[in-house]
Amino acid sequence: MLDGWVPWPKPLAAKYREEGYWEGRPLDRLLRESAERGPSRTALVDADGNRWTYAELDLRADRMAAGLRRLGIGDGDRVVVQLPNTGAFVVLFFALLRAGAIPVLTLPAHRESEIVHVAEVSGATAYAIPDLHDGFDHRALARAARKAVPGIEHVLVAGDAAEFTALADVDADPVPLPEADPGDVAVLLLSGGTTGKPKLIPRTHDDYAYNVRASAEVCGFDGDTVYLVVLPTAHNFALACPGLLGTLMAGGTVVLSPTPSPEDAFALVEREKVTATAVVPPIALLWLDAVEWEEADLSSLSLLQVGGSKLGAEPAARVEPALGCTLQQVFGMAEGLLNYTRLDDPPELVIGTQGRPMSPADEVRVVDEDDRDVPPGESGELLTRGPYTLRGYYRAAEHNARAFTTDGYYRTGDLVRILPSGHLVVEGRAKDQINRGGDKISAEELENHILAHPAVHDAAVVGMPDETMGERTCAYLVPRGQAPGQRELAAFLTERGVAAYKLPDRVEVIETFPRTSVGKIDKKALGRLIAERLRAEG
């Protein structure tokens, strides 16, 4: 069993099993079972029109699992996976599970800073990449990552492998494989982060399979579902809520879009008669506009899930008339808890709330700054625990002491209020994080990078309001000499291997920071300052 993660207390685990939330089956079983039920049905389609039946996908995963074992990858080994929305991701994901290895899921946008950290913390022995993606050579990144983390023995490449191992060659006749313990960690997800370094989220076979199964039920996924993956496959939303795993569990068809652009996505909706997909609010806004000029036939689409950051009521109300499909708001987190508006909720709840907890076993509390429950209907921080919400980040004992209550509730850092119907309205945030259109940026992580610049004496990163993204990032700098401008700072951070979505959108120079009564940088004051400046600039 993997060490360094926090299991549920034994009596609670027993209860989740007894009550049927945890079924005691390894996560990869969902593919095997769908392949047994409908081997010749289409499981997967990529943008180029390559198609895999369930039988083919199942066999490919078995063959790659055997190939991984032959390379010595299996039995609890962690493998950093950084693949775009391609068939290779899906095959490798199931192959790793079957080989007994643990996928550590990262985004294609991540760079050396994130990858090296994640590989170090997870103790990864392998790293899977595309050759080139979005004009970036991931093999160069792999060389740098291996230099920094010598424990990475294998680099597996989808495409031209150069000196590394081609994923296409990770292939062998299927061999009998040891069965995973369903109570053990199946996958490590990356957290949005509120601290200096990103944290890893352990998800067990039992808990993640329940996450997928219950999501598929809430969203009405079945064998006729054709789900378009628009967000990165590694994102919890697109992977498991119900996402590509929920579609495969239900025996439907997964279609992979290389980008969220209306050109790519709409063409695939028309070509494959897509019925459901999931996007973040800025993409929803883009699509709402694009229907005006894109000719594609979207009539097959019956469900649009929107989550990751708050969708305004105005665009929410436009979804059904403009796209001709049901809107579902999703307030989720890779840590676990998922809130969904239900498909038969009245319009005012679908438009005006972020949904209600997925599971009857989800426990939610709304508390004030002293952890006391606020009166019903009032706003406070959301705490939660349940059968698919983590009890601790991986190898992060010190952080866990702050991120969880002593009785195991996860502190989400989200400010919410709960309506009498049980629906949640997200009102704001208590955590030091910027939510840039669904992409999460830890202020502290970014500040630490900025502080490495020789002309920066001190730095504070805050969100600034933005019409399409919800918010963007503003870095306030106290200079040491001539402060870097936005471009220079972005180039400096890129050189340090920081992912592009974390680069500050704006830089402001300030002589001294406003302070709170206890002497901390007053970020609320800085947030107000930049918001005011933006208003003045019109």
- Contact between 353 and ligand J2J by CB under 6 A: the answer reads no
Can you tell me the distance from the alpha carbon of 458 to that of 474, in angstroms, rounded to the nearest whole number? 14
Is residue 236 a contact point for ligand J2J (CB under 6 A)? yes
Over the window 147 to 186, marking each residue x when it contacts ligand J2J by CB under 6 A and - when it does not, the resulting string is: ----------------------------------------
Alpha-carbon span 383 to 415, nearest angstrom: 10
- Residue 119 CA to residue 110 CA, distance in Å, equals 12
Indicate the residue among 253 and 354 with the shorter CB distance to ligand J2J. 354
Q: Which residue has the tokens 């049905």?
A: 41
Query: Smallest gap, in angstroms, from Cβ of residue 235 to ligand J2J?
Result: 7
**Spatial distance between the Cα atoms of 401 and 379, rounded to a whole number of angstroms:** 24
Stretch that binds ligand J2J, among 79-87, 168-176, 304-312, 388-396 (CB under 6 A): 304-312
Give min distance, CB of 337 to ligand J2J, in A: 8
CB of 194 to ligand J2J, least distance (A): 10
Segment 117 to 146, residues that bind ligand J2J, using CB under 6 A: none
The token pair at 517 is: 């009564």
Residues near 112 by beta carbon (within 8 Å), at least 6 away in sequence: 141, 144, 145, 148, 496, 497
d(CA 124, CA 104): 8
| DSSP-assigned letter for residue 181 | P
| C-beta closer to ligand J2J: residue 125 or 247 | 247
Part of the chain binding ligand J2J (CB under 6 A), chosen from 113-121, 142-150, 327-335, 518-526 = 327-335
Q: Nearer Cβ to ligand J2J, position 67 or 246?
A: 246
Give the Cβ contact number of residue 8 at 10 Å. 22
- Binding residue count for ligand J2J, defined by CB under 6 A: 22
- Tell me the CA distances in angstroms from 189 to 201, 216, 239, 336, one per residue in order: 5, 20, 11, 10
Half-sphere exposure at residue 237, Cβ-oriented, CA atoms within 13 angstroms: 29
SS3 percent helix, strand, coil of the chain, rounded to 5, is: 35, 25, 40
Q: Which of 354, 384, 389, 442 binds ligand J2J (CB under 6 A)?
A: 354
H-run or E-run covering 474? strand 470-479
Nearer to ligand J2J, 72 or 428 (CB): 428
Q: Are 211 and 388 in contact (CB under 8 A)?
A: yes
Residue 412 found at the interface with ligand J2J (CB under 6 A): yes
What minimum distance in Å lies between the beta carbon of 330 and ligand J2J?
A: 4
Quick one: which of 426, 446, 456, 507 contacts ligand J2J (CB under 6 A)? Answer: 426
* Nearer of residues 162 and 415 to ligand J2J, judged by Cβ: 415
Give the residues lining the site for ligand J2J (CB under 6 A): 192, 236-237, 241, 307-310, 329-334, 338, 354, 412, 414, 426, 435, 438, 440
